[in-house]
Amino acid sequence: MEYNQLLVIAISVIFINNFILSKFLGLCPFIGVSKSTRPALYMGLSVTFVMTASSIITWGIYSFLLKPFHIEYLRTLSFILVIASFVQLIEMFIQKFSPALYKIFGIYLALITTNCAVFGVAVLNSEMFLKVQDSFVKSFIFCLTQGFCAGVGFTIVLLFMSGIRERLEFCDIPRPMKDMPIAFIVASLMSMAFMGFSGFRF
């Protein structure tokens, strides 16, 4: 039924409206954690997980709490609180049950407690799918898809970027452009390349 729509959401959020390159969400980890590939991969995985999970949670809050009681104006407040405490909870949970995993992912989880990409996907979900009168199941699937794919798009771009920046280490870049400025230039060029995907029709 909505198979086609799901594909459109996925392609759109991974390539056309990529969170980093076109919506500018999550730039801090994009610039900060993209210096080498391994951390970038872990960061991407953490963000994907948290994005998917918080899409589900905020879907629940919005459709079962905010909407029935007509207190949609509390969206910002409730979303940020729930997401932040959820990430903390996950962090503590992992620390307790799998110290090995915590050693890898702990620091990244701490970094994304208030990541704008995570919060952004929740807000976008509510703007795009939750405000309209859809059945619970439909909006749930849409939110889940968008949350997961936004994370995938984030990871892909972060990985590309980390690969490029590893190579830039050996480049004779003009001194004032080193590090952050050149990272932005690379991001800009990547964003140009991603614009080739605009206007896809299915």
Binding site for another protein (CB under 8 A): 21-28, 31, 37, 73-77, 80-81, 84-85, 113-116, 119-120, 123-124, 127, 159-160, 163-164, 166-168, 170-177, 180-202
* 20 neighbors 187 (Cβ within 8 angstroms): yes
Distance CA 46, CA 108 (A): 7
User: At its nearest, how many Å lie between another protein and the CB of residue 35?
Assistant: 13
Taking the least distance from each CB to another protein, the nearer of 68 and 174 is 174
Taking the least distance from each CB to another protein, the nearer of 40 and 94 is 40
Taking the least distance from each CB to another protein, the nearer of 48 and 165 is 165
DSSP 65-124: IITTTT-GGGHHHHHHHHHHHHHHHHHHHHHHH-HHHHHHHHHHHHHTTT-HHHHHHHHH
State which amino acid sits at residue 45.
Answer: L
Taking the least distance from each CB to another protein, the nearer of 137 and 180 is 180
DSSP assignment letter at 171: S
Say how many C-beta atoms besides its own lie within 10 A of residue 61's C-beta. Answer: 22
User: At its nearest, how many Å lie between another protein and the CB of residue 173?
Assistant: 5
User: At its nearest, how many Å lie between another protein and the CB of residue 81?
Assistant: 6
What contacts 56, CB < 8 A, 6 or more positions away? 140, 143, 144, 147
User: At its nearest, how many Å lie between another protein and the CB of residue 94?
Assistant: 19
User: At its nearest, how many Å lie between another protein and the CB of residue 168?
Assistant: 7
Taking the least distance from each CB to another protein, the nearer of 29 and 52 is 29
